Structure 1
Amino acid sequence: MNTSIEVEYWVIDTDGELTSPGALAEISDQTEREFVEPLFELKTPPCETIDELQRTFVVELDDVLSRARRVDKRLVPLGTPINSDEIERRPDERGRIQKEVVGENFDYAKYCAGTHIHVEKRNVTDQLNTLIALDAALALVNSSPYFQGERIASSARAYCYRKKSYEEFPKHGQLWHYVESVGEWHRRLENRYDEFKQAALEEGIDESEVEEHFSPDDVVWTPIRLREAMPTVEWRSPDAALPSQLLRLADELQSVMEQLHHTTVEIERDSDPRNTGHVTSDGISLPEFDTACDLAETAMHDGLDSTEVTRYLDRMGFSVDDYHPISTRIDGRQFVPKSDARDLRLEYASLLEEDVDRLVQSLEV
């Protein structure tokens, strides 16, 4: 099954200050700048196996780090920059329209760095529903509990998107209910597009501008998306994290996605929330939607500190004990000043470089 990864990393200078990626974004077709100045994105092409995905991702990232060393820049695997000066959005008409429609809260997104995992479309309805049920797996790689120094959730990034950026447009940024068909999903997208267009018109934005920069396929931030152009089902909830963590997550997620094509997928009814959801050789059982939402909410707030979440993810096929989220390592304070945030960015830039070195060595064995 073809699988690919997109990950955003903060770019810093040798003092730990956020800076532009510059030439790092021009290394290959897989590297590019993001919508805010200090973010860099690395994308892999679709890979048929996890081994191929790992090799492609690691080789490309190693090339980026080599270039970064030559220009005194480093990459940071954190979901937010912990605490920083104001981050500027790059000039962009799409972003301008979103800001006018969504409002000031849209600025929360400027402080977020995440990971998107794409899996090849097959049994799409089952894939959508299973990814919705698995959204709590974001807890496995939570990498920053802080937004502008304040401790807000184990995944501050998920909190910023779901509770702040799209607070006034919850259907554009929250988990969607399970679906009966792909057609139902597309109808929801059309409805969200119409809602956004109407809100834009009320803000005085020309309809032609909205239609030029948005479509039903890309008007929402929902954690699960169908991508027609690629074509894939995309899971967008995880934070940016260490490469080894993301590769492990992609591997285990792909295993579940592969299994659902060879078994039955059912949604449990009236099940005990403490023991719901299973991935076994006999089939895949998904919790009721409200339970899946509660688990995702707990994963966002408490991460792997929640016994309920860890037991659920274990039942759903994840080797929870193999994950050591960055958030659990740096959590514990209610406020982190900018000077300490710079030190944390430098520390985790070093850990990312060491992580990639180990992954490169494993490729050579």
Structure 2
Amino acid sequence: MQKSIEVEYWVVDQDGALTKPGELTNYSEFVEEEFVYPLLELKTPPCESYAALRSTFVELLDELLSKADELDKTLVPLGTPLNSGPIEVRPSKRSRIQKRVLGDNFAYAKYCAGTHLHFEKRNVTDQLNVLTSLDPALALLNSSPYFRGERTANSARAYIYRQKCYEYFPLHGQLWDYVNTVGQWERQLDRLFDSFKEASMNEGVNEVDIDASFSPQDIVWTPVRLRDEMPTVEWRAPDTSLPSQILQLTKEVDSVMKQLYHAEVRIEGDTGEVTDDGITLPEFDTVLDYVQEAIHDGLESEQLAAYLERMGFSVQEYEPLTREIDGHDHVSLDEAREIRLRYGERLRRDVDQLLRK
């Protein structure tokens, strides 16, 4: 089964201030601009094995970091920039429409950097449902508790993205319930496209502009998405983090995905478990409870940690960066710049260690 990784990183200058990537997004087809200026995304090509994906990801990231060094820039693996001045959006018709529809809440999306895992479509209904049940695993990579300097949640990114940015359009940005068929998922996309289109036109957006900028396939920003590329099922739950932690998560999620070839998937109760004989998903309301614990408490929740262990994760192998950064109600602009530089250095050391293994 082919798989790939996409990771977003903040770009800062030598003082730790957010800055534009500049030439960093021009030298490689695997590095792209994001919709805000101080963010870029590294994308691996599809790889058949985890070993190939690991080596490709590490090599591409090492090359990117070397290029950043040449330009006196640093990449930062944190879910939010902690604290900063205003962040500017790259001008695009798509972003302008989103701003018209979401209003001031759209600004929350500007402060979010995440990790996206893609898995080749196989047993798609089971893939959608299993990845939905694994959404609480976002806690394993929580990497910033601060938004605009204030202590917000164990994963400030997940909180502001899901519960603030899409507060009035929850199905466009929050976790969906399990589905019985792929057709059910696609019909939901069609309905949400129609509702977003209607909301856009009510805000004075031209219908031609809406149709040129959006389609049912890209109208949602949910933690689980169906994508035409490759084509894949995309899991977008976690923050960005250190590559060693991202690779650990990728390996374990991939292992669960491979079990779908032969395991029976059923939904029942409130426990959940992945075994060699089958995969039991808890009822959706139970998953939502775990998601809230993942966002607000992270791995400090013993109940959540036990659930993730049952679902196939080696929880003790993870060291969420939030644990290291947390501890104050407020982080100043100067402190945020210092922390960004510190974790930019951690990113470089982490890649160096991965290259030696």
TM over 0.5: yes
Cα displacement string for residues 13-47 of structure 1 (whole angstroms, at most 9, x for unaligned residues): 11101111111111211001110010011000111
SS in 2 for 1:180: coil
Instruction: Supply the distance in 2 between the matched residues of 1:204 and 1:229 (Cα, whole angstroms).
Output: 32
SS in 2 for 1:4: strand
Q: Provide the residue aligned with 1:284 in structure 2.
A: 279
Q: Provide the residue aligned with 1:261 in structure 2.
A: 261
* Structure 1, unaligned runs of 5 or more: none
Q: Provide the residue aligned with 2:291 in structure 1.
A: 296
Opposite residue 147 of structure 2, the aligned amino acid is F
Q: Count how many residue pairs are aligned between Structure 1 and Structure 2.
A: 357
Is 1:77 matched up with 2:77? yes
Instruction: Supply the distance in 1 between the matched residues of 2:229 and 2:59 (Cα, whole angstroms).
Output: 26
Is 1:61 matched up with 2:61? yes
Q: Provide the residue aligned with 1:193 in structure 2.
A: 193
Runs of 4+ in 1 over 3 A off after TM superposition: none
SS in 1 for 2:312: coil
Opposite residue 21 of structure 1, the aligned amino acid is P
Instruction: Supply the distance in 2 between the matched residues of 1:145 and 1:37 (Cα, whole angstroms).
Output: 22
Instruction: Supply the distance in 2 between the matched residues of 1:33 and 1:211 (Cα, whole angstroms).
Output: 23
Q: Give me the CA root mean square deviation.
A: 0.7
Instruction: Supply the distance in 1 between the matched residues of 2:137 and 2:180 (Cα, whole angstroms).
Output: 23
- Give the alignment partner of residue 331 of structure 1, picking from 326, 339, 344: 326
**How far is the alpha carbon of 1:328 from its aligned partner?**
1.0
**How far is the alpha carbon of 1:260 from its aligned partner?**
1.5
* Structure 2, unaligned runs of 5 or more: none
Opposite residue 338 of structure 1, the aligned amino acid is L
Instruction: Supply the distance in 2 between the matched residues of 1:48 and 1:141 (Cα, whole angstroms).
Output: 24
Do the aligned residues in 2 keep the contact of 1:132 with 1:175 (CA within 8 Å)? Answer: yes
Opposite residue 348 of structure 1, the aligned amino acid is Y
Cα displacement string for residues 102-154 of structure 1 (whole angstroms, at most 9, x for unaligned residues): 11100000011011000110000000000000000000000001000011111
Cα displacement string for residues 81-109 of structure 1 (whole angstroms, at most 9, x for unaligned residues): 00001000011110000000111100000
**How far is the alpha carbon of 1:237 from its aligned partner?**
1.1
SS in 1 for 2:246: helix
Opposite residue 361 of structure 1, the aligned amino acid is R
Instruction: Supply the distance in 1 between the matched residues of 2:59 and 2:296 (Cα, whole angstroms).
Output: 34
**How far is the alpha carbon of 1:230 from its aligned partner?**
2.5
Opposite residue 7 of structure 1, the aligned amino acid is V
Opposite residue 83 of structure 1, the aligned amino acid is N
**How far is the alpha carbon of 1:312 from its aligned partner?**
0.2
SS in 2 for 1:143: coil
Cα displacement string for residues 152-206 of structure 1 (whole angstroms, at most 9, x for unaligned residues): 1111111011111011101111111100000000000000000000000100111
Q: Provide the residue aligned with 1:342 in structure 2.
A: 337
* Alignment TM-score, normalising by the size of structure 1: 0.97
Opposite residue 157 of structure 1, the aligned amino acid is R
Is 1:125 matched up with 2:125? yes
Q: Provide the residue aligned with 1:251 in structure 2.
A: 251
Instruction: Supply the distance in 1 between the matched residues of 2:30 and 2:162 (Cα, whole angstroms).
Output: 28
Opposite residue 277 of structure 2, the aligned amino acid is D
SS in 1 for 2:32: strand
Q: Provide the residue aligned with 2:151 in structure 1.
A: 151
